[in-house]
Amino acid sequence: MRDLLAIDALRAGYGEAVVLPSMSLTLGEGQVLALLGRNGTGKTTLINSIVGITRRFGGTIGLGGLDITAMRPDQRARAGIGWVPQERNIFRSLTVEENMTAVAQPGAWTVEKVYEMFPRLKERRNNFGNQLSGGEQQMLAIGRALTLNPKVLLLDEPTEGLAPIIVEELLRALGTITRSGGICSIIVEQNAQKILGLADRVVILERGAIVHDAASSALKADPAVLERYLGVAGAAAH
């Protein structure tokens, strides 16, 4: 299995503050990584550093064998970094379809394929971004990231604040996406149990460093790890 994402000794943060002192992480094709940790441990900073919106003090980032370390965020997106931030960042004054066609790149994930996965978006294709519910906006944010045909899909708390029925629909869709090949995913999620069934691998951060890296199945079998690092008995990891 070839590495799609290779982070080596990345030192990054904001302004003069170093949040990630030396982060090294690789992710292979088809892998789904759940990124867990208490608030303020560097999860979003790691995602933002891959996207290219933090300050880098050292280290490198490779994407499918290409060194993207010096690239701007827009160049990284074109190279294959798909990003669904917490704020979703959809274009509110564009229609659902315009949101996706505005960024689409050639590849397996077409607008029609996104509609197959999220029929609700097809029904709303002519609605503006600001006319969608929170769940629909999240579907659109994911669909828009997919039409870039990324190599790496980054999702920062994709289920936050959504109704349980929408969460189930999104997790099912993420399962479909990640099994479709040619892509790997990093999902930041506050609720560990929600994501363990979807992820192959779990990384737990503490103070910007990896303190646990194991197969998801191993973490399911040893809930004491969740309790130790996240302060939960396997339920919600805040």
Any domain includes 236 = no
Distances (CA, A) of 65 to 68, 149, 168: 9, 17, 34
Place of tokens 């396997």: 234
Domain of residue 137: give its range: 3-230
Any domain includes 238 = no
Concatenate the DSSP letters of all residues of 123-171 into one string: HTTTSBGGGS-HHHHHHHHHHHHHHT--SEEEEESTTTT--HHHHHHHH
Domain harbouring 146, CATH code: 3.40.50.300
- Based on the structure, what is the number of domains in the chain? 1
Question: 45-55: per-residue pLDDT in tens?
Answer: 999 999 999 99
Q: Is the pLDDT of residue 3 over 60?
A: yes
Any domain includes 100 = yes
CA distance 27 to 76: 17
pLDDT value, residue 113: 96
Question: 118-165: per-residue pLDDT in tens?
Answer: 999 999 999 999 999 999 999 999 999 999 999 999 999 999 999 999
Any domain includes 200 = yes
Any domain includes 185 = yes
Any domain includes 186 = yes
Any domain includes 94 = yes
